[in-house]
Structure 1
Amino acid sequence: MYKMFVWLCTLCLISVAVTGCGYGVAGSAELPTSVVKASQQTAAITEPFDFEVDPETFALTIVKDGTRIPASVPLPKMEITNLVKKEDSVQWTYPGKVDVSIVRKSGYLDIQLVSAGAEQFAWPTVKADRYTLPIGEGKEIPANDADWRSFLNDQTYTWSESFSMDFFALNADPYSLVYVVTNKFNNEVHFDTTKSVQFQFKHEFPSINPDKSYGFRLYVTGSDPMEIVNPYKSYVTEKGDFVTLEEKAASNPNIQKLYGAPQVYLWSESILTDSDVKWPKIRTLMAGPFGSWLTKLLADTPDGSGELKDVLQQIAKQDYMDKYQKRIVLGAMNQALKMRNFYTPDMFPNPGESALELIKQGVSQLSEQKLYELNKLLLKSVLLDAATDLDDWGQADSTDVLDDMHSSGIDNAWIGLPNWADGLMNPQMVSEAVKNGYLIAPYDSYHSIQHDADISWNTASFPDPTLYEEATITKKDGTKVAGFLGRGRKLNPTLAMPSVQQRVSGILQDGIGFNSWFVDCDATGEIYDDYSPAHPTTQSQDLAARLQRLSYFAGEKGMVVGSEGGNDYASGTIAFAHGIESPIIAWGDPDMRENQDSPYYVGGYYAAEGIPERYGKSVPIKPLYHKVYTDPAYSLPLYKLVYNDSIITTNHWEWGSYKIKGEEDERMLYELLYNAPPLYHLDRASWEQDKASIVDFLKVWSPFHRQAVTREMSNFSILTDDRLVQSAQYGDDLKVIANFSDQDVTVDSEVIPAKSAVIHEDGKRLIFNAANNAKMLSE
């Protein structure tokens, strides 16, 4: 039976027993009816335990089978008041700071801290041999590892942004202590690696937030990853926050098009391409009034017209155009096609009947799609036979690529466009993607806002001129939160919904065939308290507005919705996410972000044509980053163990499947083991270059994903001491074993070839060799 509370005055120590089986004799009671179904797995693996707590130092110790496991490092001794001990609880107050309550529940401790005057409070500080942390997909971090100590040294992580799920675990074989964080807002984790990795959890109590509490559930489990995540999965289910993909697909069957689908960003921003023009005639045309007019038109744009002016001067002295000159001229015309002041009667005296019909409607009143239609007609009226038929413009780099993907056996794919304008400029491409059975989505964002509208950054431009001053986020010190890359400001999502609806209605009003939508930032956990006197907003309200926005796309607009990151608060709403499997790597390293002479430089965001280097350039990463970001020895599928059949997660678009030079094979094995879609950046050139590799891999990955994605990840095991041979099971009978090492390995009498994945299903054995991108089927 439970031990009674024992009050030891000399130690200021309180001791109580907790069991995962209910009150009374261990195993004699059931969980409360309301949570039995949600917590069956947790009840089976949660360990009964005792605990001791010293209120003066808030040192919490778990006692299990005679072993004492520290759950927190002692704080400096503090005065306590209001100490109350009952059969199932203990509580006390640190005067002027916080009220503390620890309550014995079925299978866990319920720990609550409420401000009694504190603006912030730091607890717990934890120290363990190893940590299991939901950083991205998941990591197991040895506390004494020199590289992890270097990487985490003096780092402070925002909880809601840096941790994909709301728990952390301290590993002390054979048991783990699992903290479930019950208030995700206003928390930071600070790492101290002076002697070994340890960290401090700190909560702020904002003045604008009436909720002055934070807390945890503390469980004792085994040290297997599945045992560690099960209490959290049961907690999510208990709250009603777990929604399967099949449940989402019941409302929107298009979600099933994600099954077996690679995620592809298609770069076809230019509607007028090299193959669409006849350069000798273009050179003659640009030497006349049209070239001068185009230069003047672009003079007031952010990119200006300096390069175009120089090029026109050069070609006036030549009887040819080189590659650079062609690129500048094409870029100028494609940029001009997006401008609302493109039309002038003097330049386009004979626009044609279709153009005249649009002009009569009033150019300023045209939708964005109709504006692009008009501008293409106008340009064609000037280019005449210097360009191909208008229906052919841009299709070689877009529609033709999609058709070739489909004819190559890629039945399902998610196609992302870097900008919605790419689709509105080329609706034929969007229609063809849908015809092929693909999902196609624009990239969209409501995170940053610019003071002045800018067609080169249209996601940060809004028609409402009051938003910049009246709807942006203010810090506690009264300054504004800067926008992406320090430009502009961050938009308060609670005030953005009318602008969201206005933008989306404008994009869709002419029937563009988008059937998916990608919303940047809303699932990253980058959320804010807004101290603006006119619209104070808590992080909780900020997040709720983001979820409302995602629900608007998923519900009212019927889109298959994805977002950046994929932190699990959005898992009930979105169907896919970019960033859980590979986040942005080393954002602050100047060798990767600033030093263009560095071999590690990832490239810039802009390209005049094709894929920008930031996304398409293959680069190595430093050994430290390989270890902490991609080394399979430290990776765990914590997110997949909870959410495999709820949300489809892949790499961040800056770190697609081919981005890291030398790790292409490992990424393919990872994508099979973790059931994660490959993410590619494609234009016509890259598709032709990588087509064979992509198609061969998808012949294995796609059918596997279709089977695995609607099942739970039911088991995960590390099979070798070097941790480079791992297995994952999906449901009852689908299993994959991945060997990341360079040597053949025998596991349970089965040979797993080097750099290979072995898939077991229905008595059949499929071997995929990543190094050769080849498969072999055997019984």
Structure 2
Amino acid sequence: MKPKFTWMVTSTLLAALLSGCTNSGNNSIPPNETGADVIPVKDAVIPAGEPFEFEVDPETFALTIIKDGVREQASLPLPKAKVSNLVKSDDSVSWTYPGQMKVTIAKKNNYLDIKLESIGADSFQWPVVQADSYMLPLGEGKQIPADDKDWRTSLKDQSYTFSESFSMDFFALNHKSFSMVYLVTNKYNDEVHFDTEPSVQMQFTHDFPSINPDKSYGFRLYVTGNDPQQVVQPYKNYVIESGNFVTLEEKALENPNIQKLYGAPQIYLWSPSILTEENVNWPNIRTVLAGKFGIWLKHLMDETADGSSELTDTLEQISKQDYLDKYQKKVILNAINQAVKMKDFYSVDMFPDPGKEATALIQEGVSSLSEQKLYELNKLLLKDALGDAATDLKSWGQTGSTGLIQDMHEAGIDKAWIGLSNWADGLINPEMVDEAVKDGYLIAPYDSYHSIQENPDPSWNTASFADSTLYDQATINRKDGLKVAGFLNRGRKLNPTLAMPSVKQRADSILQEGIAFNSWFVDCDATGEIFDDYSQSHTTTQAEDLKARLQRLSYFAKDKQMVVGSEGGNDYASSVIAYAQGIESPIIAWGDPDMRKNKDSSYYVGDYYAMTGVPERYSKAVPIKPLYDKVYLDPTYSLPLYKLVYNDSIITTNHWEWGSYKIKGAEAERMLYELLYNAPPLYHLDSEAWDKQQASITGFLKIWSAFHSKAVTQEMTNFSVLSDDRLVQSAQYGDHLKVIVNFSDKDAVAADGQSVKAKSAIIIEGGKSTLFDAEANAKLLATN
């Protein structure tokens, strides 16, 4: 007869739970390790979990939950195994699978504390779960019906790295009578595998790396109602209990600039060129290029990866004609703007008499100049070489940068976060950065410490480091001894535990001349892509890797007093960063060749590289395949799980590859989503894009910015689906601010009696209603 045991779990007031409990898991990151200050445990209004009973069969590890007489399986049975050391008491049961695992289940006030410890197993698969539907924190959150054909297609035989794919450390199983919520207490070395026949089933596996002395993992298991707010409440209380919940207002006490994010769209400004078409006298530059400078420019471009062959062909072409076409102008400007950032731009032979200002900088020693001063020198030298073929140096590059920022401010955009694709774009044009700060904006360079190149590449300076030993001595080894490849399989991945001296060196170098950056964007650190490093000289566990990333983010936030953001936004970074790009829409279908490789496909998202302006990867509006539309965008599957926990703690938006206007035909729906989920729109702008999008952007921001400014400092207190087709939904922030949206193509009357036009939103505050017609606003893009 199988040994089976039944216990009762009761619920008490959360205040009693918090006053006496410590974190039972091994995944709690102490605040002093995240860089966050230790803060008092907050009072939670909503208790987590409901009373239930449970049964467990040690031989198969089948776990059954019983509530009000209804039985549901929390984990399906494993193959029957031998059990030893079976011990039970009034509040716990433990047993051993000889030579493999030790299991302990203890009843707490309102949850099961489940601990699994390896005593020989290299990995262990448990739980294996099956439910009517699932609530999973994939990005912002998804509700996945187990028998849905689109999700079954999308998830078929898929395996997800838990730390990367799950934005928060839980998953929920939904049944008709109640839900079961698994809180994962060790996020490291976990994988979730999906089987889809006959319906979606999840398998959770934990590996026990040889380099990690921690041989345990575990869960808290709660029973809740089926409402999303009830489902997330145990996790929110758990985060608070752990001391890792920090509100935006608390962060703003240390850096008031964080408040500039409230009501701020997030805008990537594409102004890398310091010399632009309007700065050039094209008939005269033909003469300059035919001489000594043309030969020098070609020599410099031969040292780069981008543009050398195009320049050679163009110089040969224009020597045989008396004009320059549009493409030829782009090639020449691209070459000049690359060259002016090079350390080797100065040559005594090329510039024998460079002028007083340039001479003073040269006498400081060109090799010892800061990057900003190097650009200052090179601009002076370039002006000397171009002479009357270029306008006054002070006007270079200002129309599409400083001038564009001024236009945005005059158009009524009072707050904005502005991102630059590279810190060099700011150092070469400090006037642009000064203008952004003067107008009340945040402005941030893109920075990254994820990948490293063996040889410095001027076109990928984030992967180049002053310390030449890092490539061989500080990169990550896999278990098989091979190096982990860098982004796009170029170079290697840098071990973050060994990177901090280079982080500080780079930051100090960028900032040493007083550039006015007041924000910083660190790529990859909040994505959950973390590594075990098997290098004998610097063995590192995933936990140590993650800790080092948090220390890096904290360095920019605290030591440099920057408003810090990162890619992704997985919540281990929530106490440190203020904004995250990727929770609301992640990178869509990274592995689909029609989107990434097949340039003739209508779905191709575009190239990363552009000679001038916004690259197609960010500017080209493309449709997406119906399956991706369903699983990534369809509001009937979306849930604000992340917002229900973190709305007033971290500002989340789209990944920069999937800005607000990227998906063709979905512009109205994405505006409605940004209102409902209180998420900033994300735009990619140069002068051309601003001219096309200005009417739509400013029309939306008149509504969105005021709403966001109020909603972002409050909790999301309610989320409701108001129609049978799930296309009319509402969210409430605090006690008095509510938004209702209708994603459908038909006018609707919501369940609460509110009439809502098709593709529109109604904001309700203090008895006053404001209508936003998203469809009409989206049409401004086509007609402008």
TM-score bracket relative to the smaller structure:
over 0.9
Whether the 8 Å contact between 2:414 and 2:440 is mirrored in structure 1 is yes
Whether the 8 Å contact between 1:696 and 1:774 is mirrored in structure 2 is no
Q: Tell me by how many angstroms 1:30 deviates.
A: 4.3
2:772 aligned partner: 768
Per-residue CA distance 1:48-101 (angstroms, 9 max, x = gap):
000000000000000011110100010000001010001100000011111000
Q: Does 1:264 align with 2:250?
A: no
The structure-2 alpha-carbon separation of the partners of 1:441 and 1:162, relative to structure 1 and needing over 3 Å to count, comes to: same
| 1:31 equivalent among 4, 17, 23 | 17
Q: How many residues are matched?
A: 760
| 1:372 equivalent among 369, 375, 395 | 375
Q: Does 1:17 align with 2:4?
A: no
Per-residue CA distance 1:333-387 (angstroms, 9 max, x = gap):
1111011111112211221111000000010010100000000000001111111
SS in 2 for 1:331: helix
Distance 2:763 2:298 in 1: 59
Q: Does 1:752 align with 2:743?
A: no
Q: Tell me by how many angstroms 1:201 deviates.
A: 0.3
SS in 1 for 2:116: strand
Letter in 1 for 2:775: A
Q: Tell me by how many angstroms 1:303 deviates.
A: 2.5
Q: Tell me by how many angstroms 1:119 deviates.
A: 0.8
Q: Does 1:291 align with 2:294?
A: yes
Q: Which runs of 4+ in 1 moved over 6 A?
A: none
Letter in 2 for 1:122: Q
Distance 1:161 1:39 in 2: 30
2:254 aligned partner: 251
Per-residue CA distance 1:545-604 (angstroms, 9 max, x = gap):
000000000000000000000000000000000000000000000000001010000011
Letter in 1 for 2:697: I
The structure-2 alpha-carbon separation of the partners of 1:40 and 1:506, relative to structure 1 and needing over 3 Å to count, comes to: closer
SS in 2 for 1:403: helix
Q: Tell me by how many angstroms 1:174 deviates.
A: 2.5
Whether the 8 Å contact between 1:18 and 1:50 is mirrored in structure 2 is yes
1:535 aligned partner: 538
Query: What are the within-5 Å matches in structure 2 for residues 573-652 of structure 1?
Result: 573-652=576-655
Whether the 8 Å contact between 1:675 and 1:709 is mirrored in structure 2 is yes
SS in 2 for 1:772: helix
Per-residue CA distance 1:678-708 (angstroms, 9 max, x = gap):
0000001000110010000000000000000
| 1:234 equivalent among 232, 237, 240 | 237
SS in 2 for 1:442: strand
| 2:503 equivalent among 487, 500, 508 | 500
Per-residue CA distance 1:437-488 (angstroms, 9 max, x = gap):
0000000000000000011000000111110010000001111000000000
Letter in 2 for 1:749: G
Per-residue CA distance 1:193-225 (angstroms, 9 max, x = gap):
121000100000111111111000000000000
Distance 1:552 1:217 in 2: 33
Q: Does 1:302 align with 2:288?
A: no
Q: Tell me by how many angstroms 1:311 deviates.
A: 1.1
Q: Tell me by how many angstroms 1:39 deviates.
A: 6.9
Per-residue CA distance 1:378-432 (angstroms, 9 max, x = gap):
0001111111111110000100110000001100000000000000010000000
Whether the 8 Å contact between 2:696 and 2:778 is mirrored in structure 1 is no
Distance 1:423 1:133 in 2: 40
Letter in 2 for 1:268: S
Distance 1:627 1:770 in 2: 20
Whether the 8 Å contact between 2:307 and 2:334 is mirrored in structure 1 is no
Letter in 2 for 1:166: D
Whether the 8 Å contact between 1:579 and 1:650 is mirrored in structure 2 is yes
2:564 aligned partner: 561
RMSD: 1.3
Q: Tell me by how many angstroms 1:656 deviates.
A: 0.3
1:6 aligned partner: none
**TM-score, normalised relative to structure 1:** 0.96
Letter in 2 for 1:756: S
Query: What are the within-5 Å matches in structure 2 for residues 68-147 of structure 1?
Result: 68-147=71-150
Distance 2:488 2:312 in 1: 30
Q: Tell me by how many angstroms 1:306 deviates.
A: 2.1
Whether the 8 Å contact between 2:168 and 2:571 is mirrored in structure 1 is yes
The structure-2 alpha-carbon separation of the partners of 1:32 and 1:690, relative to structure 1 and needing over 3 Å to count, comes to: closer
Query: What are the within-5 Å matches in structure 2 for residues 188-199 of structure 1?
Result: 188-199=191-202
The structure-2 alpha-carbon separation of the partners of 1:385 and 1:92, relative to structure 1 and needing over 3 Å to count, comes to: same
Distance 1:318 1:283 in 2: 10
| 2:327 equivalent among 318, 324, 328 | 324
Structure with larger RCO (C-alpha < 8 A, sep 6+): 2
Whether the 8 Å contact between 1:39 and 1:231 is mirrored in structure 2 is no
Per-residue CA distance 1:486-530 (angstroms, 9 max, x = gap):
000000000000000000100000000000000000000000000
Whether the 8 Å contact between 1:59 and 1:73 is mirrored in structure 2 is yes
The structure-2 alpha-carbon separation of the partners of 1:31 and 1:307, relative to structure 1 and needing over 3 Å to count, comes to: closer
Letter in 2 for 1:274: E
Q: Does 1:517 align with 2:520?
A: yes
SS in 2 for 1:379: helix
Whether the 8 Å contact between 2:557 and 2:564 is mirrored in structure 1 is yes
Q: Tell me by how many angstroms 1:296 deviates.
A: 1.6
2:65 aligned partner: 62
Q: Tell me by how many angstroms 1:305 deviates.
A: 2.4
Distance 1:32 1:337 in 2: 60
| 2:684 equivalent among 681, 686, 708 | 681
1:200 aligned partner: 203
Letter in 2 for 1:714: T
Quick one: percent identity of the two aligned structures? 69
1:3 aligned partner: none
Whether the 8 Å contact between 1:414 and 1:438 is mirrored in structure 2 is yes
The structure-2 alpha-carbon separation of the partners of 1:60 and 1:119, relative to structure 1 and needing over 3 Å to count, comes to: same
Distance 1:396 1:104 in 2: 66
Distance 1:637 1:324 in 2: 46
The structure-2 alpha-carbon separation of the partners of 1:300 and 1:31, relative to structure 1 and needing over 3 Å to count, comes to: closer
2:551 aligned partner: 548
Q: Tell me by how many angstroms 1:749 deviates.
A: 2.6
SS in 2 for 1:595: coil
Whether the 8 Å contact between 1:269 and 1:422 is mirrored in structure 2 is yes
Whether the 8 Å contact between 2:763 and 2:769 is mirrored in structure 1 is yes
Distance 2:754 2:302 in 1: 68
The structure-2 alpha-carbon separation of the partners of 1:774 and 1:684, relative to structure 1 and needing over 3 Å to count, comes to: closer
Distance 2:308 2:56 in 1: 70
Whether the 8 Å contact between 2:563 and 2:577 is mirrored in structure 1 is yes
2:697 aligned partner: 694
Query: What are the within-5 Å matches in structure 2 for residues 124-523 of structure 1?
Result: 124-303=127-306, 305-523=308-526
1:670 aligned partner: 673
Whether the 8 Å contact between 1:41 and 1:234 is mirrored in structure 2 is no
1:743 aligned partner: 746
Question: Gaps spanning 5+ residues in structure 1: where?
Answer: 1-9
Whether the 8 Å contact between 2:307 and 2:331 is mirrored in structure 1 is no
